[in-house]
Structures are given as C-alpha cells and as structure tokens.
A and B are shown apart, each in its own frame.
Chain A
Amino acid sequence: MTLQTHYSIPTSIMLQVVDDEVLLFNSANGQFFTINEVGAGMWEVMQDYTALSDVLNELKEYFEVPLEKLTADLIVFGESLEEQQLIVCDEQ
C-alpha cells in the first residue's frame, strides 16, 4: 500500500461508539474491531476521501507529528483495514 492507493469503504461497515470505545462493525460478516483514538480520527477523515494521499493532506493539519511518521502510521492503518476487509483497495 502506498499514498497513491485508492480505496472504498463497503456500505456494510459501521462505526459505533460504546462507553467511549470506538468499534468498526462489518454487518456483512458480523465481525467487529476496536480502534484507538488515533485510528478513529484517521477513519473519520478516510470517510471523506478515496485516496490515501488526500487523507494525509488533511490529517497533517491535525496531527502534530513528523510527516514521515504520520505517513507510515496511515499506511499501516490502511493495510490493517484492508486485511480485515474494512476497506477495499484499488492500486492506481
């Protein structure tokens, strides 16, 4: 996965908040996953875009970390989402 990766979020994916814990639920297979505060912030931005490069451009306005670290964290997060079928990626 790279910053040039495009992705889509299946309509079966839902974000729910229970007692301040954030979880992603896949209604297609009944699986759910918790995400931490940073992941929840990334997910919120990802819902507005289809390319990781666009997500990064917006995230860097909010996260006060070196761009290299933010880029690496976003790609790792994206890979874990893809692995769990929470996003569908399209390399372009």
Chain B
Amino acid sequence: MVFGHGSNHIFLVQHTYNLTTLIYKFDLLFNKDMSTRIHSSGSLGTLIIKKSIEVNITSFPKTFIYQNNQGRNVTLATDRDFTTPSADQSWLFHVENVISFSWQTQGGKISYRFLEEATEDIFRFWLYHLVLPIYFSIAQIYKFLHAGAVEVDGKSILFMAPSHGGKSTLTDYFLQKGDALITDDKMATFEKDGVYYAVPSHPYHRPFRLEEVLGHLSENPATEVKPIHAIYILAKSEPDADIVIRRLKGIEKFSRLHEGGEMNFSFFTRDYVTYLSGLANKVDVFEIAVPHDLERLEEVYQAIKIHTLALAPSNKLL
C-alpha cells in the first residue's frame, strides 16, 4: 500500500493485493484541500483525513486520558465536559512531540498536524491502531473488543485474552496457515437486526509488538463484514495439558467479555454494557485451554478449526 498523488489530493491506493481502500470499511481519503472525494463500492462511508496547521492543543482544555503509550505521552482531550458527546464536540488525540489529531464527534473528518518527530509510518501507526478506533467509538459507529480475529472458511472467529495472553501468536499462526486477517488487536463490531458483525480493521499485523510500528502487511486480509461466528477466550495451561474447549454461559460469559472490553469510555459505559449483554446472549463464547508451548500451536489450530467448523451458527437473523 502506498500513498498515490492526484492533482490536488492524496489518496490511498492498493498495489499489493486486490482490495479497495477500506480501513474499518471506510474509504480513507487523505486530502490536503478537501476538494475531491472518492467513493468505492461496498464501504460504509468516507472519512476525510486532512493535513492541517489548525490543530491547536490549547483549544481542548478537558483532558480525558493521559497515559504513556508506545513510550510516548499521549493525551485524549476535548473542548467540553464528558457527558454524552454532542455531534459538534471537538476532540484531540495528541502524541507529545509526534503528532496531533483532531476531529468533531460526527464530522466525518480528522485533521492532523505533524510535530518534530513525526514520520509517515508513525502517522499511519497512530491513525490505524488508536485514532480510528477512538473516532469510531466516540461517534458510536462501532463497539470494540480487545481481540485478534481471523476468517476461517468464511466464518469470523475472535480470540480474546489479556495482554500477552497469546492472541497475536495464535492470530499469526492462523495467518500462516492461510486464513484471512480480520483484525490484529482491536475488533470493530456492530449490531444490526439482532446480529453482531465483525468489521475487518486494517491489513496490518503486529506479532512482535514493536513500539510505533505499523506491522506486517497481510497478504490475505478479510474484506467483508460478516456475523461473528464464535469467540474463543484463551486460557494458558501447562505445556503438557490437554487442549480443552469449554462453552461459557451466563455471568461467566459476560464477565470474560467485559474483561476484554476496548474503547469502553466512561460516558458510554451503560450503552457498552447493554451491548455486551446482547452480544453474550447471541454469540457462542468458549474458553480454550492453550498449552504454554509453541510446539503445540498446530494442535491448538486444528482443535479450533474442527470445533468452529462443526459449530452451528447462533448469531444469525431469526
């Protein structure tokens, strides 16, 4: 993937595989002067990514999150109190000395400003991995789960686990076996007519988790939004333990999903919890005991594949 140049705009074009410019099923239009919009079929909308000199951090007095991320001081701030975000509320995602992004809740446009340590690759890292999930969450377009996900024989399956719990390793193994990448780490989902869908995020995978690195470009990214077929929650077990898959129910299922919540902002907690309850009632969730032994990944892979292909879908239109 490279940045192609038009007469008065810059847009994302694909050269390495047959896929239109879809990130989280949105066309990302990198545009300097807003004069041209490009739409491609099958996407959910267009999001303008505009380079600007207008991003001024002093316009965002309400700091919501301040944390160290990727070795950087990162701030999420806004221009008013944190209640239910209004459509014209302005937001700032600021990476100290690197880059500032700003947008309005439902403005359809993200402006950014490079700071002294910014590069094109670092810009795309922050945009794809953090800013877009935050944007889509605040705009209430998607709900996110902390999960890796792949498409196995057309079925979307998610892997959830705590950080360093093996999601990326298992996701990477499925990719090596030829299954399609849905997401590396942040699973965008939405509900429509009682069905919960998984949205392909971006075609990059980071099995190594180096700071501010976009990751490998997947040769086989999933391209279609599909119902979530099953969620597997990874539980580390002894290296010689049996690989056991156990269906979760009720409070245990809800609590495990809740632990894997992502982008669960305080002003949306009630909405997010209601969403998770609905998801828990609709989608099959399993715990899989994964032996702590890389030599046994093939066994884990086969166990999940056999299990998921034999599973009748519960998350479907009634």
Chain A: residues with CB nearer than 8 A to chain B? 12, 14, 16-21, 23, 25, 27, 30, 32, 34
Are B277 and A17 touching (Cβ within 8 A)?
yes
Known: A32-B254, A32-B255, A34-B251. A19 touches B280 (CB 8 A): yes
Asked whether B269 is an interface residue with its Cβ less than 8 Å from the other chain, the reply is yes
Asked whether B249 is an interface residue with its Cβ less than 8 Å from the other chain, the reply is yes
Residues of B within 8 A of A19 (CB): 249-250, 253, 280-281
Residues facing A in B123-179 (CB within 8 A) are: none
Q: How far is the CB of B212 from chain A (nearest CB, A)?
A: 30
Asked whether B270 is an interface residue with its Cβ less than 8 Å from the other chain, the reply is yes
Chain B: residues with CB nearer than 8 A to chain A? 249-251, 253-255, 258, 269-270, 273-274, 277, 280-281
In the assembled complex, the Cα of A23 lies from the Cα of B251 at a distance in Å of 7
Complex A-B: 14 CB contacts under 8 Å: A14-B274, A16-B254, A16-B277, A18-B253, A18-B280, A19-B249, A19-B250, A19-B253, A19-B280, A20-B250, A32-B251, A32-B254, A32-B255, A34-B250
Of all chain A residues, which has the CB nearest B279? A18
Residues of B within 8 A of A14 (CB): 270, 273-274
Of all chain A residues, which has the CB nearest B264? A30
Residues of B within 8 A of A12 (CB): 270
In the assembled complex, the Cα of A26 lies from the Cα of B132 at a distance in Å of 28
In the assembled complex, the Cα of A20 lies from the Cα of B255 at a distance in Å of 15
Q: How far is the CB of A50 from chain B (nearest CB, A)?
A: 22
Residues of B within 8 A of A23 (CB): 251, 254
Residues of B within 8 A of A21 (CB): 249-251
Residues of B within 8 A of A18 (CB): 249-251, 253-254, 277, 280-281
In the assembled complex, the Cα of A20 lies from the Cα of B277 at a distance in Å of 11
Residues of A within 8 A of B251 (CB): 18, 21, 23, 32, 34
Residues of A within 8 A of B249 (CB): 18-19, 21
In the assembled complex, the Cα of A14 lies from the Cα of B273 at a distance in Å of 9
Residues of A within 8 A of B274 (CB): 14, 16
Residues of A within 8 A of B258 (CB): 30, 32
Q: How far is the CB of A67 from chain B (nearest CB, A)?
A: 32
9 smallest CB-CB distances across A and B, nearest first, come from A21-B250, A27-B269, A16-B277, A19-B250, A18-B254, A19-B249, A18-B280, A34-B251, A27-B270
Q: How far is the CB of B187 from chain A (nearest CB, A)?
A: 19
In the assembled complex, the Cα of A19 lies from the Cα of B257 at a distance in Å of 14
In the assembled complex, the Cα of A12 lies from the Cα of B274 at a distance in Å of 12
Are A16 and B273 touching (Cβ within 8 A)?
yes
Q: How far is the CB of B103 from chain A (nearest CB, A)?
A: 26
Q: How far is the CB of B248 from chain A (nearest CB, A)?
A: 9
Q: How far is the CB of A44 from chain B (nearest CB, A)?
A: 17
In the assembled complex, the Cα of A14 lies from the Cα of B278 at a distance in Å of 14
Residues of A within 8 A of B250 (CB): 18-21, 34
Are B273 and A27 touching (Cβ within 8 A)?
yes
Q: How far is the CB of B275 from chain A (nearest CB, A)?
A: 11
Q: How far is the CB of A59 from chain B (nearest CB, A)?
A: 24
Residue in A18, A20, A27 whose Cβ sees the most chain B Cβ within 10 Å: A18
In the assembled complex, the Cα of A17 lies from the Cα of B250 at a distance in Å of 8
Q: How far is the CB of B233 from chain A (nearest CB, A)?
A: 15
